[in-house]
Homo-oligomer: A and B are copies of this chain.
Amino acid sequence: MSQLPQPLNVSIEDHHVFIMECLRHVGASEQHALIVADALALTDSWGTFTHGSKLLSGYTSRVKHGGCQTDVDPEIVRDGPSWAIVNGNSTLGQVAATFAMQTAIGKAREAGMAYVGVHNSCHFGAAGVYSAMAADENMIGISTANDIPSVAAPGSRKAVLGTNPFSYAIPARRHPPILLDIAMSTVAGGKVYAAHQLGKEIPDNWIIDASGRPTTDGSLYPKNAALAPMSGHKGYGLALLMESLAGVLSGANLTWNVKAWISDSPDEPTHHGAGFLAFNVGVMQNMDEFLNRVDGLIDEIHNAPKIEGVDRLYVPGEMEWERREIAKENGVTLPPDVVMVLRQMTREIGLETDIV
């Protein structure tokens, strides 16, 4: 375990500039670097540090070595009134996902709702970024992706499916959008890495060792351990739906045919898949009434009786949007593991910066 640096406070604007600089330094196009910087700076401002700029190290490596392309754009290869299949053309996952959700929103504007599946993509970071795009347009957004297997099935002693993130966003009026972003495992792999990098023991329901037994040793993951599915057969079953919507239906690679974006050769595409849904609320219901009903639902949950010692009940995303408001004023405080990874990365790519 290397010595961890201090947390680092940085303004969202400077952080965005830094992310752009890193990607531009390894040769990314301005347009693609901007899309990735928007996504990662937003994610860090939510306090979701496992899926923010910490990922840059893998992304810069893939851009530098050609596994991710930034001189081509994703494209629609087939479509109909309420769907499209997009070839990500080995662009960065954020670029392919942003294009796909924009396509879903456009289709939903005409048809009412739409699905867009993406193949030949890469790791897309936090799924919530794309769902939030739909909520910004007063639509319900859903995002999912597949990934190399890291999650066991009940009874298996090896991983069979990816963490296969799932996210949704629902627009509200007085409140920020409801926004959930979860892995189908008990926790995302990033949390196991982060705990390990911070020298912490992990709870015994996060991973299983090579024999299938629960363990608190995070260092075993991912080589000699698999993540436990959330709630057993339920999380496993949901991960299989995500594999199907993000992978099978989109025409992407599946399970072990997806490459590990962190550890596999950075000069080859990873062939991740992703899936996006947009629901155009305003054509189905009166938009004002819908927003009032969502606000009312949130108020009702806020006002529900609390367990002694609990001050507040939160709806999904509420903590993240509050952290973002604070970050807009006071900057983002990057935790030690993120600062460490970012400093290693800038050294590796030979970038001189005074931001981290």
Q: Which residues of A are at the interface with B, using a C-beta cutoff of 8 A?
A: 78, 80-83, 85, 110-115, 117, 140, 153-158, 160-161, 168, 170, 178, 180, 182, 186, 211-212, 230-231, 233-238, 240-241, 243-245, 248-249, 251, 254-256, 279, 281, 283-285, 290, 293-294, 296-297, 300-301, 304-308, 310, 312-316
CA distance in complex: A240, B298 (Å): 10
A140 CB to closest chain B CB, in angstroms?
Answer: 7
CB-based contact A234/B244 at 8 Å: no
A251 is contacted by which of B115, B153, B285, B315 (Cβ under 8 Å)? B285
User: How many copies are assembled?
Assistant: 2
CB-based contact A290/B212 at 8 Å: no
CB neighbours (8 Å) of A115 from chain B are 112-113, 279
CB neighbours (8 Å) of A211 from chain B are 307-308
Check A230/B240 contact, CB under 8 A, given A156-B305, A279-B249.
no
CB-based contact A156/B244 at 8 Å: no
**Known pairs A78-B284, A254-B293. 14 more at Cβ < 8 A?**
A85-B284, A140-B244, A156-B304, A157-B306, A180-B237, A180-B241, A182-B237, A212-B310, A231-B231, A234-B235, A240-B316, A243-B297, A248-B293, A255-B300
CB neighbours (8 Å) of A160 from chain B are 300-301, 304, 313
CB-based contact B231/A235 at 8 Å: yes
CB-based contact A294/B248 at 8 Å: yes
CB-based contact A245/B111 at 8 Å: no
A244 CB to closest chain B CB, in angstroms?
Answer: 5
CB neighbours (8 Å) of A233 from chain B are 316
A81 is contacted by which of B82, B182, B212, B243 (Cβ under 8 Å)? B82
CA distance in complex: A279, B297 (Å): 29
CB-based contact B157/A305 at 8 Å: yes
CB neighbours (8 Å) of A168 from chain B are 241
A318 CB to closest chain B CB, in angstroms?
Answer: 11
A238 is contacted by which of B80, B153, B155, B180 (Cβ under 8 Å)? B180
